[in-house]
Chains A and B, each alone.
Chain A
Amino acid sequence: MATKASRSAARIMMAPAVILLLGWMLVPLIMTLWFSFRVYLPLRGGDQGWAGFDNYIRFVTSSAFWPSVQTTLIIVLGVLVITVVFGILIALLLDQPIWGQGVVRILVIAPFFVMPTVSALVWKNMFMDPVNGLFSHLWRFFGAEPVSWLSDASLPSIIMIVSWQWLPFATLILLTAVQSLDSEQLEAAEMDGAPWHKRFWFLVLPHLSRAITIVILIQTIFLLAIFAEIFVTTGGAFGTRTLSYLIFQRVLESQNIGLGSAGGVYAIILANIVAIFLMRIVGKNLD
Chain B
Amino acid sequence: MGQIQLKQVTKSFGDVQVIPPLDLTIQDGEFTVFVGPSGCGKSTLLRLIAGLEDISSGHIEIDGKDATDLVPAKRGLAMVFQSYALYPHMSVRKNIAFPLRMAKMDPAEIDRRVNAAAEVLNLAAYIDRRPGQLSGGQRQRVAIGRAIVREPSAFLFDEPLSNLDAALRVGMRMEISELHKKLKTTMVYVTHDQVEAMTMADKIVVLQAGVIEQVGSPLELYRRPRNTFVAGFIGSPKMNLISGEEAAKHDAATIGIRPEHIDVVESGGTWQGTVGVAEHLGSDTFFHIHNTGLTEMITVRAIGDINLTHGDTIHLNPRMNELHRFDAQGLRID
A and B touch in the complex (CB under 8 A): yes
B291: min CB distance to chain A, Å: 42
A2 touches B71 (CB 8 A): no
Q: Any chain B CB within 8 A of the CB of A1?
A: yes
Cβ of B66 under 8 Å from chain A: no
Instruction: Give the Cβ gap from A7 to chain B, nearest Cβ, in Å.
Output: 9
Quick one: closest A residue to B55, CB to CB? A3
Q: Is B54 on the interface with A (CB-CB < 8 A)?
A: yes
Q: Does B51 contact A (CB under 8 A)?
A: yes
Residue of A nearest to B13 (CB): A2
Q: Please, what's the 1-or-0 string for B49-65, where 1 marks a CB less than 8 Å from any CB in chain A?
A: 00111100000000000
A5 within 8 A of B: yes
Minimum C-beta distance from A90 to chain B (A): 35
> How far, in angstroms, from A205 to B52 measured CA to CA in the complex?
42
Measured between beta carbons, the chain B residues less than 8 angstroms from A5 are: 71
Q: Using Cβ atoms and an 8 Å threshold, which residues of chain A touch B51? A: 3
A12 to chain B, nearest CB (A): 15
Interface check A280, CB cutoff 8 A: no
* A1/B53 in contact, CB under 8 A: yes
Interchain CA distance A39-B275 in the complex, whole Å: 97
Q: How far apart sit A3 and B54, CA to CA, in the bound complex (Å)?
A: 5
Within the complex, the shortest CB–CB distance from B9 to chain A, in Å, comes to 14
Chain A residues within 8 Å of B53, by CB: 1-3
**Distance between Cα atoms of A4 and B72 in the complex (Å):** 12
**Which B-chain residue is minimally distant from A7 (CB atoms)?**
B54
Of all chain A residues, the one with the shortest Cβ separation from B47 is A1
Interface contact A1-B52, CB-CB below 8 Å: yes
- Chain B's closest residue to A5 (CB) is B71
A2 to B71 Cα, complex, angstroms? 12
Chain B residues with CB under 8 Å of A2's CB are 53-54
Q: How would residues 1 to 20 of chain A score, 1 for a CB under 8 Å from any chain B CB and 0 otherwise?
A: 11111000000000000000
Chain A residue at minimal CB-CB distance from B53: A3
Compute how far the CA of A1 lies from the CA of B47 in the bound complex, rounded to whole angstroms: 9
Give bound CA distance, A4 to B52, whole Å: 10
- Chain B residues lying within 8 Å of A4, measured Cβ to Cβ, are 54
CA–CA, A1 and B81, complex, Å: 13
Which residues of B have CB within 8 Å of A3? 51-54, 71
Give CA–CA (A4, B54) in the complex, Å: 7
Assembled-state Cα–Cα distance A1/B54 (Å)? 9
Give, as a whole number of angstroms, the nearest-CB distance from B247 to chain A: 46
Give the shortest distance, in Å, between A77 (CB) and chain B (any CB).
43
CB nearest to A2 among chain B residues = B53
0/1 interface trace, chain A 25-66, chain B, CB 8 Å (1 if under) = 000000000000000000000000000000000000000000
Distance in Å from the Cβ of A221 to the closest Cβ of chain B?
34
How many whole Å from B133's CB to the nearest CB in chain A? 27
A2 to B44, CA, bound (A): 12
- Report the minimal beta-carbon distance from A6 to chain B, rounded to whole angstroms: 9
Roughly how many angstroms separate A1 CA and B13 CA in the complex, as a whole number? 12
A278 to B292, CA, bound (A): 65
Question: CA of A3 to CA of B71 in the docked complex: distance in angstroms?
Answer: 9
B52: nearest residue on chain A (CB-CB)?
Answer: A1
Query: When chains A and B are docked, how far (Å) is the Cα of A1 from the Cα of B53?
Result: 6
Compute how far the CA of A4 lies from the CA of B51 in the bound complex, rounded to whole angstroms: 11
Question: With a CB–CB cut-off of 8 A, which chain A residues contact B52?
Answer: 1, 3
* List of A residues within 8 angstroms of B54 by Cβ: 2-4
Please report the C-alpha to C-alpha distance between residue A231 and residue B53 in the assembled complex, in whole angstroms.
Answer: 56
Closest to B51 in A: A3
Q: How far is the CA of A4 from the CA of B53 in the complex (A)?
A: 8
A2 to B54, CA, bound (A): 7
- In the complex, what's the smallest C-beta–C-beta distance from B40 to chain A, in angstroms? 20
Task: Give B73 Cβ to nearest chain A Cβ, in Å.
Answer: 11
Sorted from nearest, which 6 A-B pairs have the closest CB atoms?
A3-B54, A4-B54, A1-B52, A5-B71, A3-B53, A3-B52
CB pairs A–B below 8 angstroms (11 shown): A1-B52, A1-B53, A2-B53, A2-B54, A3-B51, A3-B52, A3-B53, A3-B54, A3-B71, A4-B54, A5-B71
Instruction: List 9 additional contacts besides A1-B52, A3-B51; criterion CB under 8 Å.
Output: A1-B53, A2-B53, A2-B54, A3-B52, A3-B53, A3-B54, A3-B71, A4-B54, A5-B71
